[in-house]
């Protein structure tokens, strides 16, 4: 019956259609009236008319979506080459401005920081953020400010990062042991997968050090699912007529992953609460006053301990940390911190292998400072300036988050008179800025020497103070984990290049090639990772091989 009714629709519509001549005359009158009204408004506004930044021709409904190709940061760079360093694009119903120069980024962050302190919240991200209880996508509010301070002072502050170093070292040891086994068997190492497992395990153990291994494995699978869902293009976020329809099924998938992740987080928290209660019963410090806990944290405390301390603190006046807020924060940290670290380690190793002279200098420095009877670690990074320069150069060319996302909460004037309305998505193309020839000599070349003494960029720091170099973003929404990344990532690379010689596995069984150039094609998603797995074969470089401890 329903199908027959649908088949009758064309006949019914034809009967309802008015005379064509009447339609034509009506449209002509409407068009003439519109033109007159627009002309009158234009004369009345004169110079006071607001100007949006330059834009390409868009299409009805979809705007400029037809121009966007992955990876998006490259599309934005190509459009900016035609339209300028500040441009306006419309992604469906969403109005956006894109900043592609250091000057515009500086103006946005220094002059309008208070007006772009929020991030666009997608339909999928809203589920994993427990609505407004998350941190990464939370609006600028007392809750967000409290969590940012907690991150910078305690959760990801220097003292906690140092205390949790043994957990990260254990993850590195496990990685080196697995590579050593593969080298003995002459089997290839999928370094992409190995680094993701190491990073996931380390960040989960830093969050909850005492959870069972089965929980860690399940969390790794869920972290991967969250990253894929949050990074996927969702038509519902951009085209208003599609909102609420879940045409791609991403909402249903996200709901299922969120339900499973929530159950896992409940298990982690209950496991932690049981352990804390057991310590209190034994009288070994689990129930000491919160003030004393904050000042005498021990190495046994992980991030979940710190969060539960804050939740139990009855004297907290500004924000009450709830169980839901803790779960939202855990999802934020483990999903943001694992894939980004793994991607940066992989990019840095690939760049060094593609530039043998740079690799030789890194190894020579490690051999002279660390020697061959122990394995380099995080404590050695400060004494390895060329290693640090190679990491800084990798961050410039391959930032893990190539686009910094913000959203305007007020109207503002930017770039010499252009208006950015409230509610506009603001994208800062960090990737393009790091390759701008106006600031970088030979910007596409991998040159760690530029960050060494006398290299021209010696004083540049990646923490967001220099706007031609923003690998971790800048301002209020800058990455709170940058201190951890600057310490842990180069340490892993140092150990990998110190302990092993690496050769590219040539497809088709043609053997290995130590001189092959590794492809540097980028994948899709929020994290700028390599598109193809890094398959290498390792040979122990040190003889005898140091004890992996």
Over residues 232-248, the pLDDT tens digits come to 889 999 988 888 899 99
134 and 153 inside one domain: yes
CA dist., res. 26 & res. 216, Å (int): 67
Q: Could you give the strand order of the β-sheet that contains 425-429, starting from the edge strand earlier in sequence?
A: 86-91, 94-99, 425-429, 403-407
144 and 70 inside one domain: no
> Would the pLDDT of 331 be above 70?
yes
The residue-averaged pLDDT of 277-283 equals 85
- Provide the domain count of the chain: 2
- 370 within some domain: yes
**Residue 161: CA count within 13 A, CB half-sphere:** 17
Output b/e per residue, 294-333; b: 16+ Cβ within 10 A: eeebeeebbbbbbbbbbeebeeeeebebeeebbbbbbbbb
- 547 within some domain: no
459 and 499 inside one domain: yes
Task: Could you list the beta-strand ranges (E) of 74-182.
Answer: 86-91, 94-99
Listed residue (170, 199, 160, 204) closest to 299, CA to CA:
160
| Parent domain of 112 | 2-121
pLDDT of residue 115: 96
208 and 67 inside one domain: no
Q: Work out the number of other CB atoms within 10 angstroms of the CB of residue 1.
A: 5
Reported as a pLDDT band with limits 50, 70 and 90, residue 269 is: very high
Which of the residue ranges 208-212, 227-231, 242-246, 264-268 would you say has the lowest mean pLDDT?
Answer: 208-212
pLDDT digits (tens, 9 = 90+) for 464-480: 999 999 999 999 999 99
CA dist., res. 439 & res. 450, Å (int): 12
The residue-averaged pLDDT of 118-133 equals 90
Q: Work out the number of other CB atoms within 10 angstroms of the CB of residue 21.
A: 8
88 and 163 inside one domain: no
pLDDT of residue 449: 98
Coil vs helix vs strand at 511 = coil
pLDDT digits (tens, 9 = 90+) for 340-378: 999 999 999 999 999 999 999 999 999 999 999 999 999
Output b/e per residue, 129-144; b: 16+ Cβ within 10 A: bbeebbbbbbebeebb
Q: Please list, in sequence order, all residues whose beta carbon lies within 8 angstroms of the beta carbon of residue 481, skipping any fewer than 6 positions away.
A: 151, 156, 333, 336, 337
97 and 239 inside one domain: no
pLDDT digits (tens, 9 = 90+) for 385-418: 999 999 999 999 999 999 999 999 999 999 889 9
Q: Mean pLDDT of all residues in the chain?
A: 86
189 and 329 inside one domain: yes
Residue for token digits 């969120």?
258
């Amino acid at each position: 019956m329903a199908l027959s009714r649908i088949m009758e629709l064309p006949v019914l519509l034809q009967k309802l259609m008015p005379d064509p001549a009447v339609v034509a005359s009506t449209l002509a009158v409407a068009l003439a009236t519109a033109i007159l009204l627009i002309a009158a408004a234009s004369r009345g506004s004169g110079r006071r008319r607001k100007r949006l930044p330059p834009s390409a021709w868009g299409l009805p409904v979809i705007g400029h979506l037809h121009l966007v190709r992955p990876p998006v940061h490259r599309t934005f760079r190509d459009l900016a080459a035609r339209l300028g360093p500040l441009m306006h694009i419309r992604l469906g119903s969403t109005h956006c401005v894109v900043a592609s120069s250091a000057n515009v980024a500086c103006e946005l962050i220094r002059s309008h920081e208070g007006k772009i302190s929020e991030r666009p919240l997608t339909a999928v991200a809203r589920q994993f953020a427990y609505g407004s209880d998350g941190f990464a996508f939370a609006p600028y509010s007392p809750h967000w400010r409290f969590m940012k301070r907690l991150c910078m002072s305690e959760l990801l502050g220097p003292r906690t990062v140092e205390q949790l170093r043994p957990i990260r070292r254990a993850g590195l040891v496990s990685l080196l042991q697995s590579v050593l086994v593969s080298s003995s068997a002459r089997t290839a190492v999928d370094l992409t997968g190995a680094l993701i497992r190491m990073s996931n395990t380390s960040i989960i153990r830093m969050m909850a050090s005492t959870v069972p291994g089965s929980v860690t494995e399940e969390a790794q699978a869920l972290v991967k699912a969250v990253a894929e869902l949050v990074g996927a293009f969702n038509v519902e976020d951009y085209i208003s007529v599609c909102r609420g329809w879940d045409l791609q099924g991403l909402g249903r998938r996200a709901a299922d992953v969120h339900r499973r992740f929530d159950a896992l987080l409940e298990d982690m928290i209950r496991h932690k609460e049981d352990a804390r209660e057991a310590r209190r019963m034994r009288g070994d410090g689990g129930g000491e006053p919160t003030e004393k806990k904050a000042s005498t944290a021990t190495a046994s405390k992980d991030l979940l301990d710190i969060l539960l301390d804050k939740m139990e603190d009855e004297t907290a006046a500004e924000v009450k940390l709830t169980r839901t807020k803790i779960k939202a924060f855990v999802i934020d940290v483990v999903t943001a911190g694992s894939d980004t670290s793994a991607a940066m380690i992989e990019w840095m190793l690939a760049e060094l292998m593609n530039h043998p002279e740079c690799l030789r200098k890194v190894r020579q420095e490690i051999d002279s400072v660390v020697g061959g009877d122990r394995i380099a670690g995080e404590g050695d990074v400060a004494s390895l300036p060329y290693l640090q320069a190679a990491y800084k150069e990798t961050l410039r060319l391959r930032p893990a988050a190539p686009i910094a996302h913000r959203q305007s909460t007020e109207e503002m004037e930017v770039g010499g008179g252009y208006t950015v309305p409230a509610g506009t998505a603001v994208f800062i193309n960090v990737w393009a800025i790091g390759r701008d020839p106006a600031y970088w000599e030979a910007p596409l070349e991998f040159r760690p020497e530029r960050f060494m003494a006398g290299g021209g960029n010696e004083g540049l720091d990646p923490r967001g103070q220099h706007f031609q170099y923003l690998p971790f973003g800048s301002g209020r929404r800058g990455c709170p984990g940058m201190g951890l990344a600057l310490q842990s990532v180069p340490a892993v690379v140092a150990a990998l290049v110190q302990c092993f010689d690496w050769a590219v596995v040539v497809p088709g069984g043609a053997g290995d090639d130590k001189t092959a150039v590794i492809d540097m094609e980028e994948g899709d998603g929020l994290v700028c990772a390599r598109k193809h797995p890094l398959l290498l074969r390792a040979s122990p470089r040190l003889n005898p091989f140091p004890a992996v401890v």
